[in-house]
Amino acid sequence: MRQEWPEWMPRLGSSDAPISPCRSKYATGEYARMAQVLGAHAEHITDPAEVGPAIERAKEIATTGQPCVLKIITREEPVFSQYYR
C-alpha cells in the first residue's frame, strides 16, 4: 500500500527541496558538529579501529542523560535499493 506524501515535506526536485533526487546520495552535512552545538556529545569517526571505543564512550555518556551522535564514515555502496523504482 502506497502512503501519501506528507504535506510538511518538500518534494524532491521542487524549488524548496534541500537536495535534488539525482544527487541525493551526495548529500552531506556536519551532523556531528551540529549535534555538539545543540548540546549533544558527538564524534566524527573515520578510523574503523575507533568505532568500538566510540560506541563505548557514547554508551557511558548516554547514561548521564546527554544525547549522543556518532557519525561513522564508511564507504560508498555500489548497489542501491530498488524498492522505489
Q: Is 36 inside a domain boundary?
A: yes
Asked whether the predicted pLDDT for residue 81 surpasses 60, the reply is yes
Local confidence band at 29 (pLDDT 50, 70, 90 cut-offs): confident
Per-residue pLDDT tens for 39-71?
A: 999 999 989 999 999 999 999 999 999 999 999
C-alpha–C-alpha distance, residues 64 and 58, integer Å: 10
Q: Is 46 inside a domain boundary?
A: yes
Helices (H), 1-85: 31-37, 51-62
Residue 71: phi and psi, rounded to 5, are: -100, 105
Number of domains in the chain: 1
Q: Is 81 inside a domain boundary?
A: no
Q: Residue written as cell 542501491?
A: 80
Better-predicted residue by pLDDT, 38 or 9: 38
C-alpha–C-alpha distance, residues 10 and 49, integer Å: 38
Asked whether the predicted pLDDT for residue 20 surpasses 70, the reply is no
Question: Percent helix, strand and coil across the chain, each rounded to 5?
Answer: 30, 10, 60
Residue range of the domain that includes 44: 29-72
Q: Is 82 inside a domain boundary?
A: no
